[in-house]
Amino acid sequence: MASLRAHLYAFAVRRMVRPRLGDMSDLASVRRVFDGASFPDPLDVTYRPGILGGISGEWVIPAPSERPETRLFYIHGGGFVACSARTHRPVTGSFARRGLTVFAPDYRLAPEHPFPAAIDDLVAAWTEFAALGPAAVAGDSAGGNLALALMLRLREAGLPLPRAAALFSPVTDLVGTGLSHRANARRDAMFDPEGLRRLRPAYLGPADPADPLASPLLADLAGLPPLLLHVGERELLRDDSIRLAEKARAAGVPVELTVFPVVPHAWQFAGYRVPEARRSLSEATRFLRSRLARGDA
pLDDT of residue 17: 95
| Known active-site residue 66 | no
Nearest of 241, 206, 233, 50 to residue 128 by alpha carbon? 50
Active-site choice (84, 141, 180, 280): 141
Percentage of the chain beyond pLDDT 70 is: 99
Domain count, the chain: 1
Active-site choice (235, 241, 276, 280): 235
1 against 295, higher pLDDT: 1
Indicate if the pLDDT at residue 61 is higher than 80. yes
| Known active-site residue 69 | no
pLDDT-derived band at 295 (thresholds 50, 70, 90) equals: low
pLDDT of residue 37: 82
| Known active-site residue 141 | yes
- Global confidence as pTM: 0.97
Phi and psi at residue 176, in whole multiples of 5°?
Answer: 80, 45
The Cα 163–Cα 235 span in angstroms is 28
pLDDT of residue 147: 99
Q: How far is CA 290 from CA 159, 172, 297, in A?
A: 22, 25, 12
CATH code of 108's domain? 3.40.50.1820
What domain range is 146 assigned to? 4-294
